[in-house]
Amino acid sequence: MPLDLLLRRALLAGQPGREVDIAISDGRIAAIEPHVAAECPAEDLGGRLVLPGFVETHIHLDKSCILDRCRAEHGTLEEAIAQVAAAKRAFTEEDVYDRARRTLEKAIVQGTTSMRTHAEVDPRVGLRSFDAIRRLKADYAWAIDLELCVFPQEGMLNDPGTEELLIEACEKGADLIGGCPYTDSDPNGQIERIFDIAQRFDLDIDFHLDFDLDPTWMHLDEVCRQTARRRWGGRVAIGHVTKLSAIEPGRLDQIGRRLADAGVAVTVLPATDLFLMGSGHHHSVPRGVAPAHRLIEHGVTCSLATNNVLNPFTPFGDCSLIRMANLYANVMRLRRTADIAHCLDMVTTQAARLMNLPDYGLAVGNPADLIVLDCQNATSAVAELSQPLLGIKRGRQSFSHAVPILHPP
């Protein structure tokens, strides 16, 4: 078989000290062997770690980069929703496309090769954000697989016209549907309707859920119930779930088993959760980050993701998923090298499982989607925020960074 590219001396996660060559042909991985003999363009990776690309399971491209038109004075969830609700009336398709493009390009050069973005749909913004991101998805397919999740940020049953717009977006090709019961006047009613739409269009579901620190009630109970009733296990994810940071370990174990049994996955958004939770506290501020690594022990699929970039929900962000893995490990005070390494799973293999990505992973026959990190193993990648040096999407190089060079006197 004629090869297009050969990557020499790669290290794979979980296989320390065993360098391999990765051969690429026709956009796919043709071989992974200790030594591949071939006459084709080759790159010596010098014993660096190769991963199958980062998977961003939860980001809002449509409302990124709007800090210049919003206030973030109180740093509360209510303020952030209200500020964006006002700003988005002025969103045009071109404006959304331009800001989303800048954010998407950042993610690509940080090594993200698959992404699920949310897009708000309601009578204020109509389908303008949805249409902009659909164009972006097509324009950047050479670098990233972009999945578009439409959702009602400001509620649905309280917001006439929203459900019709969501259905119109699904008819026009939305990849999945999201929900946000905490802003709805009838949270369980919204959950029911979102499941109805998902079943009608055969779509996965991704809820924003249980985004506060009051552990006395949770919408995840209703989501688990509906997931089981509709046999939608493996197709439902919930994001934030910061309430899980406010419960004692025994109850967390119970909920972990419940989520695993129902087939409901969890996404933790460390940057936003740290920024918005506990804003009423002036000292001993709670962190508000759900302990995903504890849920994984019960068999729950869990990912870490970026959520918001440069807006009132999170006025920070460079779209680096290695940064999210490092932030999470730091906040959770992980100490064992294996626990730190597992944070990398939550932005790669676990994240790919949450999104039900077919053909993800470094294996012969899979698409040649991969990135090269400037390190030797998963623990160093997370601990030292190792930077991706180059990325390949379906066999074609999609970005590169130069290795830093010191210039001593």
Give residues in contact with Zn ion (CB under 5 A): 307
- What type of residue is 257? R
- Least distance from Zn ion to the Cβ atom of residue 59, Å: 8
In terms of Cβ atoms closer than 10 Å to its own Cβ (0-12, 13-18, 19+), residue 202 is exposed
- Least distance from Zn ion to the Cβ atom of residue 308, Å: 7
- Least distance from Zn ion to the Cβ atom of residue 206, Å: 9
Q: How many CB atoms lie within 10 A of CB 200?
A: 11
- Least distance from Zn ion to the Cβ atom of residue 207, Å: 10
In 60-193, beta strands by DSSP E? 112-120, 145-151, 176-179
Which residue number places its CB atom closest to Zn ion? 307
Question: Which residue, 307 or 350, is less far from Zn ion as judged by CB?
Answer: 307
Question: Which residue, 130 or 378, is less far from Zn ion as judged by CB?
Answer: 130
The DSSP code for 403 is P
Question: Which residue, 307 or 326, is less far from Zn ion as judged by CB?
Answer: 307
**Sheet holding 176-179: strands in order across?**
54-59, 112-120, 145-151, 176-179, 204-209, 236-240, 264-268, 302-304
- Least distance from Zn ion to the Cβ atom of residue 58, Å: 6
In 180-295, beta strands by DSSP E? 204-209, 236-240, 264-268
In terms of Cβ atoms closer than 10 Å to its own Cβ (0-12, 13-18, 19+), residue 406 is exposed
Cα separation, 84 vs 67, in Å, equals 10
- Least distance from Zn ion to the Cβ atom of residue 65, Å: 16
Question: Which residue, 303 or 307, is less far from Zn ion as judged by CB?
Answer: 307
Non-local (6+) Cβ contacts of 189 within 8 A are 157
Q: How far, CA to CA in Å, does 335 sit from each of 180, 268, 300, 342?
A: 35, 20, 22, 12
Question: Which residue, 13 or 209, is less far from Zn ion as judged by CB?
Answer: 209
With tokens 């309430």, the residue in question is 243
Question: Which residue, 159 or 273, is less far from Zn ion as judged by CB?
Answer: 273
Question: Which residue, 178 or 391, is less far from Zn ion as judged by CB?
Answer: 178
- Least distance from Zn ion to the Cβ atom of residue 311, Å: 11
Cα separation, 69 vs 370, in Å, equals 37
